[in-house]
Amino acid sequence: MDFQSFLRYPLEDLPFIALALIIAFTVHEFAHAYSAYKFGDDTAYNAGRVTLNPRVHLDVIGTILILIAGFGWAKPVPVNPSKFSRPRLMSIIVTAVGPLSNLLIGTIGVFIFVPLHIYGVLDSASIGVSMAVERFFSYFISFNFLLFVFNLIPLPPLDGYRIISDLMPLRIRYKMDQNVQWGMFIFLLIVFIPPLRRVTLDPILGLATNMASNTLRLAYSIFS
């Protein structure tokens, strides 16, 4: 049996993928936890989630699935909006900072990698080291832009759904919460049925590729 056939990515790239995912997921969940704590909710803090220690944020199944299916998740951060002075506004901010943190570190990755490439910093390194750095940054940048776009899709259990829910009037939010299970069912259908994925999820995730490419072009134009 060929183990590679079960994976979405090349087997030899798994160390770079794992490191990129660990950083991306950890920063994302830390951003949720830290912002909630700063707004007065100590729920995540008491659960030990206000930390950059990956062990408390990673979900084993969610991490494995991204290697197999191309998508995954980390452990959700517990948040109690009733502890916020302005529950709706602060809930939206706490939810939004997760995807935004991925956009930020993805952009930082671009502006670290491009000068390394342009100024030949890696030229004196061995071919193996040079290829390893390029592969890591390739996955690191693409995953973070991907997580930014993916998490803003307005379907449960993603951050985009929670943002939309918090923006709605209470009666509409109540109805939305009553039908969360159907939203999750639709989400799973879109992910796992290729024809549906090709006309729904894939074009959306294509935005992440375009964003990463445009950011890279901007960085090259700045440093050239």
User: Which residues form the catalytic set?
Assistant: 29
Tell me how far the alpha carbon of residue 29 is from its chain's centroid.
9
The HSE-up count of residue 207 (CA atoms within 13 Å, CB side) is: 12
Asked if residue 112 lies in contact with residue 33, where contact means CB atoms within 8 angstroms, the answer is: no
Tell me how far the alpha carbon of residue 105 is from its chain's centroid.
10
| CB-CB neighbours of 164 under 10 Å | 19
Place of tokens 């193996």: 128
Tally DSSP H helices, then E strands, for the chain.
10, 0
Rounded to the nearest 10°, the torsion over CA 114, 69, 186, 77 is -70
Cα→Cα distances 149→18, 103, 165, 212, Å: 20, 9, 18, 11
- Which two tokens mark 155? 């379907």
